[in-house]
Chain A
Amino acid sequence: MVEILLNGIFIGSLYALFGIGLALTLGLMRQINLAHGDLIVLSAYAALEATRLTGLHPLIVMPVVVVGMYFIGWALQRVLIERVMGRGETSPLLITFGLSMVLQSAMQLAFTADTASLDPGFLGPASVQIGPLTMGLLPIITFGVSVGVFALTAAVFNATNFGRSVRATADDARTATLMGIDTKSIFSTAMGLSIAVSAVAAIFFGMRGTFGPFVGGNWMLYAFETVILGGLGSIWGTFAGGLILGVSQALGGMIQPSFAPLLGHIVFLVVLLVRPRGLFAK
């Protein structure tokens, strides 16, 4: 039972990583990026290509992929979303929906519809024995990295001028401009960071399971549930949301394997009914 709960926490920390990028755009910038899941998949493919080209371990190529995805996120905001901002709330939604379609088709063309995965190498079978519990090393590393990413993100957004400027711009972009904040630059950087941290999630997921050009929708769903469960605007709330989702799925899986995702969705629905703004909304 403890082992199952721990596995739920470990997979939950991965969902939290899926969610953190979305939490930044949705919770702090108040923008919905419907291509978020597809950009995570693109990160996984980028890592796959990088490992094929260099023969290096996915964790070694991670910094390059993260930096590359930062620039893709930055360009997405600057070139696409910014152009349609101010033309109604649905415009960024529709433009990212269009991007999602384009990315899926382009990835199918480039990588075929076959599933792929990242080779975790020695980390795949490696495990750690703590008392009577046997835990995989990769899930433990995933959990540690997830906590680190959340701590860093919270520090950046709560205690730096950049973080204050993002929150101020999300509150009132016009007044932020009057205070000397370059709102376009701030949002582009925030979108870049959003996609960069999602790339971390993509690489860990790619080492644990398979992915294909069309799984972005599922990953987006987990990210969305994580963010909403935790509550908009709360970075650590997103982390908690991921853990709740992961543990719910693990408990569901105990009843019956196919019941795992369903219990996660049910918990999501119940939390929304009890606390419509999420558990830790600001």
Chain B
Amino acid sequence: MISITNLHAGYGALAVLFGIELKVARGDCLALIGANGAGKSTLFSTLSGLLDAQQGDIQFDGQSIIGLSPVTIVQRGLIVVPEGRRLFASLSVEENLLLGKNSKRQGNWTLERIYDLFPTLGPLRHRNAMALSGGQQQLVAIGRALMSNPLALLCDELSLGLSPAAVDVVYEALKTIRREGLTTIIVEQDIGRALSSSDNFACIRHGQIALAGRSDQVDRSAISAAYFGTH
């Protein structure tokens, strides 16, 4: 579904990613882990089209998405659940959800299905999105992305700033979504949570893949070594 080959990207003269190689099969979940500044957000920015790749290729659903605008990439079915939710402050919960329809993609996701998946949102549909708790806002952010009927979801720091109970709710929802066959890449600081929620993982350090493999077969000490660069 997603195949990244020799990807180099950065900001002007500042190179951040150096030859990233990753593959995510259809329906799989990849956990992307790494310290702050390792290059996870840069990789997401490149995947979503906000940042141009300097070299390499990204194949999505059998086609290269290099050079495409973020709008076209969303129309192809790849969408981000951004770090910090980034809900639209002047819009209600339902209006935020409806914005996902801008992708114009056909699919099964409707407002009713989102409210079925996240029953707590139904009674809050006409409230301003910013009046919700952090956990509820995260559900809106996921719902908004689902409304675009995506093939793949890029989830950036889903648990950031949430209470443990809210994080449980969010990851339970992610589990349900994955049963729909959605391909997901999650960036998560909580390594235990990331590994238990994914099929595969990749650890980025200094803009390169330091370690990758099956999430259920990983040796924790190897992850620590890859994460911190210790041996």
Interface window among B89-97, B162-170, B196-204, B216-224: B89-97
If A177-B50, A178-B79, A180-B71 touch, whether A165 touches B86 (CB-CB below 8 Å) is: no
Interface string of B51-94 (1 = CB under 8 A from A): 00000000000000000001100110001101000101111000
B90 A171 Cβ-Cβ under 8 A: yes
Partner of A179, one of B50, B104, B144: B144
B95 A164 Cβ-Cβ under 8 A: yes
Interface string of A98-114 (1 = CB under 8 A from B): 00000000000000000
Interface string of A225-254 (1 = CB under 8 A from B): 000000001000000000000000000000
A171 B88 Cβ-Cβ under 8 A: yes
- Distance between Cα atoms of A181 and B82 in the complex (Å): 15
Q: How many of chain B's residues have a CB under 8 angstroms from any CB in A?
A: 25
Partner of B79, one of A170, A172, A179: A179
- Distance between Cα atoms of A177 and B80 in the complex (Å): 11
Question: Does A36 have its Cβ within 8 Å of any Cβ on chain B?
Answer: no
- Distance between Cα atoms of A175 and B90 in the complex (Å): 14
Q: Which residue of A lies closest to B144 (CB)?
A: A179
A168 B74 Cβ-Cβ under 8 A: no
B189 CB to nearest chain A CB (Å): 21
- Distance between Cα atoms of A177 and B103 in the complex (Å): 11
Question: Does A52 have its Cβ within 8 Å of any Cβ on chain B?
Answer: no
B71 A165 Cβ-Cβ under 8 A: no
Chain A hits for B144, CB < 8 A: 179
Chain A hits for B48, CB < 8 A: 178
B91 A167 Cβ-Cβ under 8 A: yes
B142 CB to nearest chain A CB (Å): 13
A181 B71 Cβ-Cβ under 8 A: yes
Chain B hits for A172, CB < 8 A: 86, 88-89
If A161-B98, A161-B102, A165-B99 touch, whether A178 touches B90 (CB-CB below 8 Å) is: no
- Distance between Cα atoms of A128 and B89 in the complex (Å): 47
- Distance between Cα atoms of A182 and B71 in the complex (Å): 6
If A179-B148, A233-B90 touch, whether A168 touches B99 (CB-CB below 8 Å) is: yes
List 28 A-B residue pairs with CB atoms under 8 Å apart, sorted by A's residue number.
A161-B98, A161-B101, A164-B91, A164-B95, A164-B99, A165-B99, A165-B102, A167-B91, A167-B95, A168-B91, A168-B99, A171-B89, A171-B90, A172-B88, A174-B50, A175-B86, A175-B88, A177-B50, A177-B70, A178-B80, A178-B86, A179-B74, A179-B79, A179-B102, A179-B145, A179-B148, A180-B70, A180-B74
Q: Given A172-B88, A178-B82, output 11 extra A-B contacts at Cβ < 8 Å.
A: A161-B102, A168-B99, A172-B86, A174-B50, A176-B99, A177-B70, A178-B48, A178-B80, A179-B144, A180-B74, A180-B75
